[in-house]
């Protein structure tokens, strides 16, 4: 293990006592069908201090138990772990000017509305491009090329730069633009330049056959797939893009995401320049009232991070019930992976549970 990666061999034998309340919240979530299963990784001051699995793959009595090392579809955490990280590396290498116009890289985006000429990479990263949150592109487009063309033609929901609106469409386009700038596919770039360097051995798009068995299922059938969704991306738009997209598609474990968080908490070493980490994780000054950084979100009131993360913290959520929150001042990261979308996506109870869980973690570490 490289000296730059988080020391996962650190003993955490006392975690049941330290995080008793936090772990009870997750166990209660399983009992109350907030989600069938969960995995958590907590790092504090450079050490892994909590790492545990809860519940089962599904609600069936004989379902496989979730382990600390179980693999989850991390959904929109893809936006920060893969796509934003790729943007950070390209920025460091002088290949990406975040204030340059997107049409300079994706000329097909310019068609149909002159406002498209105003959209910058910063706007895509900060979700202020004016593009809508979500569009079911998969209903019309049936392959990656058609999906990208459809995404480039999506009408604006607001004027570029006027307000922040979280947008999958923007990150679909961002992923394609970064591929054009780097000359490398998103998947291979992230695998070689991020995951392998951080020894994130279970993190990948499109898990192989062996990994699929360790992957927690995310849904029991969908509009376009009448089967258990396990080891293939839950998001329909990403599925139509071959499972590899800028907004979704990545699979990972809590421990791998703890390694990623450790990199950011270590000033970016060994991947990023420290000033790049600071640039991308700092809340944007515009549009007015935004909580968004570049790729990342920051705590607002109320926040899924709970009440106690410091203002300089940053994090992100994933639709399947995943989250990663990082507090540089405390030197803390909390990764929570669940499959709250099983058997379908109707259950929203995680929105109440997740802040309580984060509050309990911080209270435990602060000795309250």
Strand partners, 65: 56
Q: How far apart are CA 74 and CA 152, in angstroms?
A: 25
Question: How many helices (DSSP H) and strands (DSSP E) are in the chain?
Answer: 13, 10
pLDDT digits (tens, 9 = 90+) for 187-209: 999 999 999 999 999 999 999 99
Q: Which CATH architecture has domain 15-74+207-225+250-365?
A: 3-Layer(aba) Sandwich (3.40)
Q: How far apart are CA 160 and CA 172, in angstroms?
A: 17
With cut-offs at 50, 70 and 90, classify the pLDDT of residue 7. low
pLDDT at 2: 42
pLDDT digits (tens, 9 = 90+) for 214-273: 999 999 999 899 999 999 999 999 999 999 999 999 999 999 999 999 999 999 999 999
Decide: 326 and 264 in contact? Cβ < 8 Å: yes
Q: How far apart are CA 360 and CA 224, in angstroms?
A: 39
Residue with the larger pLDDT of the pair 150 and 7: 150
Gyration radius of the chain over CA positions: 19
Written as six digits, the tokens of 29 are: 């979530």
* pLDDT of residue 179 exceeding 60: yes
Domain ranges in the chain are 15-74+207-225+250-365
Written as six digits, the tokens of 330 are: 């405390």
């Amino acid at each position: 293990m490289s000296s730059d990666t988080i020391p996962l061999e650190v003993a955490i034998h006392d975690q049941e006592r330290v995080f008793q309340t936090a772990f009870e919240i997750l166990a209660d979530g399983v009992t109350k069908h907030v989600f069938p299963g969960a995995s958590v990784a907590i790092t504090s001051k450079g050490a892994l201090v909590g790492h545990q699995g809860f519940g089962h793959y599904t609600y069936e009595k004989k379902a496989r138990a979730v382990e600390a090392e179980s693999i989850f579809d991390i959904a929109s955490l893809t936006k920060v772990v893969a796509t934003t990280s790729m943007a950070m590396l390209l920025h460091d290498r002088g290949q990406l000017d975040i204030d340059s116009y997107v049409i300079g890289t994706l000329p097909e985006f310019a068609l149909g509305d002159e406002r498209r000429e105003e959209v910058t990479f910063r706007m895509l990263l900060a979700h202020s491009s004016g593009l809508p949150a979500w569009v079911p592109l998969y209903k019309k487009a049936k392959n990656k090329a058609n999906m990208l063309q459809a995404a480039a033609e999506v009408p604006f929901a607001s004027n570029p730069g006027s307000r922040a609106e979280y947008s999958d469409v923007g990150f679909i386009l961002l992923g394609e633009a970064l591929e054009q700038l780097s000359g490398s596919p998103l998947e291979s770039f992230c695998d070689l330049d991020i995951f392998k360097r951080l020894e994130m051995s279970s993190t990948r798009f499109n898990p192989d056959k062996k990994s699929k068995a360790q992957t927690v299922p995310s849904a029991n059938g969908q509009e376009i797939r009448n089967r258990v969704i396990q080891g293939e991306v839950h998001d329909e738009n990403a599925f139509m893009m071959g499972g590899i997209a800028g907004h979704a598609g990545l699979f990972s474990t809590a421990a791998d995401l703890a390694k990623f968080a450790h990199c950011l908490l270590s000033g970016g070493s060994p991947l990023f320049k420290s000033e790049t980490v600071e640039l991308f994780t700092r809340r944007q000054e515009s549009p007015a009232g935004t909580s968004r950084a570049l790729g990342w979100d920051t705590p607002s009131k109320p926040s899924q991070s709970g009440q106690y993360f410091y203002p300089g913290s940053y994090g992100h959520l994933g639709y399947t019930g995943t989250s990663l929150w990082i507090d540089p001042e405390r030197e803390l990261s909390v990764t929570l992976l669940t499959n709250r979308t099983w058997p379908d996506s109707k259950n929203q109870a995680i929105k109440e549970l997740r802040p309580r869980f984060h509050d309990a973690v911080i209270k435990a570490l602060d000795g309250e």
